[in-house]
Amino acid sequence: MGPSRPLLAVLRGERRDPPPVWLMRQAGRYLPEYRALRADKGGFLELVHDSAAAAEVTLQPIRRFGFDGAILFSDILVIPHALGQDLTFEAGEGPRLAPPLVDHALDALTRAPERLAPIYETVRRVAAALPRETTFLGFAGSPWTVATYMVAGQGSREQAEARRYAYRDPVAFGAIIDAIADATVDYLAEQIDAGVHAVQLFDSWSGSLAPREFERWVIAPTVRIVTALRARHPDTPIIGFPKGAGGKLPAYARETVVDAIGLDETVDAAWANTHLPLGLPVQGNLDPLALIAGGEALLSSVKAIRGAFPERPHVFNLGHGILPDTPIAHVERLLELVRA
């Protein structure tokens, strides 16, 4: 399996030159074929729960660009939905979860794991249709990031509600974190059983935590997930992406023992190469705005990132998700530059 899939080989510790490439949020709003399908299907959640449509969205960027990895089209908030919160997406306002756990107890929720069944069906459909050389990536949100939404009931400025809750009642907040972690292990294991080759943990809001809280609410739950998932699927690589972790990245890498680490665009790639464990594969970390800018900004950024990892296994990616106003021609140019 490994040699025919360059991305999977790199996640397992092999260096490839040129590096394999995929982009976070590569299945999404910058593609006209995605916008057409979403308009036809209605809302975002309807698209996620329509397995045939979600599989088509996952495959669209592979057909158009030939990325080395396909990322499952879904959302990190399907876990709170499966834990019993109601999930809606308001046009122009983002997700809403009810009831928010800042005012309600976790044990008042009625678990609904069947809500995840369409996602496993999406995985099976994509796995059957992907080219042999393409690595299929599953994913989940990390417990801290998912908890920020569950507590506030929506995205929140600086994740203040969850941070206050964690200081005020660490036992109750810890129960939320543990519930998310345990559900996430089952969710990722089911994705692997259905056909993904590797998984990524998105901790989009890890940068808002003080160092001791980062250790408690980011590193410790990630260790819990990695340990349990490895017991069930020892050969499946796990990518950790603690966005905003900055100087806490080396500790995250050492203590979680993830197989690869994602770097956001604020991390100096040369610094990361010096400070991360020797031989640990890294992923990243082009600024999504440099991709929009194109031209010399794109060229110099790609050269700097490529040059920062002369011996380390590297997956080329953005430092965060591709933005909706990204020109398709710039994505094509990026692939030319990376693969040159």
Catalytic residue IDs: 25, 29, 38, 75, 149
Cis status, amide bond into 285, omega within 30 of 0: yes
Contacts of 89 by beta carbon, 8 Å cutoff, 6+ apart: 43, 44, 45, 95, 96
Closest alpha carbon to 221 in 126, 117, 146: 146
Cα separation, 142 vs 264, whole angstroms: 16
DSSP 75-100: -TTHHHHHTT-EEEEETTTEEEEES-
How far is the C-alpha of 141 from the C-alpha of 243, rounded, in Å? 12
- CA-wise closest residue to 119 among 139, 142, 104: 139
3-state helix, strand, coil in the chain (%, to 5): 55, 15, 35
Chain centroid to Cα 151, Å, comes to 21
Read off φ and ψ for residue 327, nearest 5 degrees: -70, 135
Structure tokens at 317: 């990616």
Rounded (5°) CA angle 140-145-149: 105
Residue 340 in tokens = 């040159």
Q: Give the SS3 label for residue 145.
A: helix
Q: Are 221 and 181 in contact (CB under 8 A)?
A: yes
- Residue 256: in which H helix or E strand, if any? helix 249-256
Joined tokens for residue 188: 């990722």
